[in-house]
Structure 1
Amino acid sequence: MREFRFSLIVFTALLVIVAGVYFLIMLNGGQISLSTSNQDWASFGAYFGGVLAPAASLLAGYLVYKSFRSNTYQQKLLVIREALGRLDQQLEHNLYTPFNNDCFGEEYRGLPLRTIVYAVSNGELESNERFDGAVLSLLHNISILAHSILTYLKLLERFPTEETDTNWLRNLEHHYWIEKYSPICTRMKTIVGKNAMQQKIKENQLESFRVIFNGGYDL
């Protein structure tokens, strides 16, 4: 938007300069009234057209380029957001998938994984190697999601619109992911431990995990 306003100002200034030069030439030649000659008006039109037409063409081409770039950027954001939505749905499904393992006894067999995570983190159950492996695998998938979210948020920061709008949209998107995954991620991190996460998950994914989920594995 700022670039468009700047281009419009430059074009308007050029228009004023061209008109000013023409009228200065008229005044220096002693012509202080409007001509009634068709030939003079034809010359005036040719002068303006010859000078301003290339500038107008450049401005039009620039605006077409900016519009194409903006549409392409928006389509890119939509594709990424759809991919994030699919990952989000899959992780949501995994969290509510029945934990069909008898390591906690028949009482907890078949309960959603999320329920058992809360039970273990609250001290109602004692974790074990099998459950730690399942939780660590899920944390790995969430870290991949976090890295994708961080890339998406960075793209939102550079979205070609007003700066305040961009920040508002980015913060709104970030808040959604924090509210949805930060509490459960904190509990899962407590169960498996920071060292296990560092061994399982890549460093850049861990950093994205920390940034996106409000402190992540450092909580």
Structure 2
Amino acid sequence: MNNEVLTLDSQAWFQFASFVGVLLAPIAGLGAAIIVALQLGFTGRVTQLEMFERQCARLDKEIQRLLQQPLKNARYEDYFGMPLIEVVYAHSNAKEVAPDDLGDALNSLLQNLAMVLEIVARKRLLVERLEKSLGDYPWVEYSENAYWISRYSAVLGRLCRVIGHQKVARKLTKRQLELCAEISTEFKEIQ
């Protein structure tokens, strides 16, 4: 064994502490920078998620308003004054394709729904990334899917039948058709 004794000289201990401090300070600074960067990335994702949430809520509210809006075209006296959703269900139940001018009104409704689904898809992707980064179970993503499916699957399927598959295929983008197919099986026939 070595007979060396630790020094009691305070100057030597000061030099040793300075040496250790010079080595550890950059490592601690780098660690702090990494933590700040991760926190900023997390905050950015949460901010995006809040933005998507507001967009979805606004568009969802607008679609609900459109669905409840009364049909004001006097040419359709059987349906005049009925909420648009009831017109869609009546045509769908009768298994008839809507006339072109009524189909055009329904097309705008369908396109609004497709836009909502695009925003929801982006939101789901963001939620999925956020949950993975936290190591969390994807319960938010699953509940989002369940909400939109229960909210719009019947309406989307009926709109597709009433407007007609060919017209729907011409009006929506391929991505929108894919998203609609996730919600309603009626759109799987179009793809």
Report TM bin, short chain.
0.7 to 0.9
| Cα drift, residue 124 of structure 1 | 8.5
Q: Counterparts in 2 of 1:47-126, with a 5 A limit?
A: 47-105=19-77, 107-123=78-94
**Partner of residue 188, structure 2:** 218
Residue 154 (structure 1) aligned with residue 132 (structure 2): no
| Cα drift, residue 216 of structure 1 | 5.2
**Partner of residue 162, structure 2:** 191
- Flag the structure with more relative contact order, 1 or 2, with Cα contacts below 8 A and sequence separation at least 6: 2
Rounded to whole Å, the distance in 2 between the matches of 1:54 and 1:163 is 29
Q: Are the counterparts in 2 of residues 147 and 209 from structure 1 also a CA contact under 8 Å?
A: no
- 1:82-116 Cα distance to aligned partner (Å, 9 max, x none): 112111111111011011123332x5311110111
Residue 177 (structure 1) aligned with residue 148 (structure 2): yes
CA distance 1:155–1:97, shift in 2 (3 Å): same
- 1:162-205 Cα distance to aligned partner (Å, 9 max, x none): 2334x221111121111111111111111122211011122222
Out of 71-80 and 51-60, give the one that drifted further. Answer: 71-80
Note the residue ranges of structure 2 that are not aligned, 5 or more in a row: none
Identify which of 70, 95, 100 aligns with 1:129.
100
Rounded to whole Å, the distance in 2 between the matches of 1:218 and 1:103 is 33
Secondary structure (helix, strand or coil) at the match of 2:75 reads helix
- 1:150-169 Cα distance to aligned partner (Å, 9 max, x none): 1221122222632334x221
Q: Are the counterparts in 1 of residues 97 and 162 from structure 2 also a CA contact under 8 Å?
A: no
Rounded to whole Å, the distance in 2 between the matches of 1:214 and 1:162 is 31
| Cα drift, residue 30 of structure 1 | 4.6
Instruction: Tell me which structure has the larger Cα radius of gyration.
Output: 1
**Partner of residue 168, structure 1:** 139
Q: Are the counterparts in 2 of residues 80 and 152 from structure 1 also a CA contact under 8 Å?
A: yes
Rounded to whole Å, the distance in 2 between the matches of 1:181 and 1:89 is 13
Look up the equivalent residue of 1:199 and give its one-letter code. R
* Number of residues of Structure 1 aligned to a counterpart in Structure 2: 188
Q: Work out the percentage of aligned pairs sharing the same amino acid.
A: 26
- 1:46-80 Cα distance to aligned partner (Å, 9 max, x none): 23212111100100111111111111221122112
Residue 37 (structure 1) aligned with residue 40 (structure 2): no
Rounded to whole Å, the distance in 2 between the matches of 1:216 and 1:144 is 18
| Cα drift, residue 208 of structure 1 | 2.3
**Partner of residue 203, structure 1:** 174
Rounded to whole Å, the distance in 2 between the matches of 1:151 and 1:94 is 23
Rounded to whole Å, the distance in 1 between the matches of 2:171 and 2:142 is 29
Over aligned residues, Cα RMSD in angstroms? 2.3
Q: Are the counterparts in 2 of residues 99 and 109 from structure 1 also a CA contact under 8 Å?
A: yes
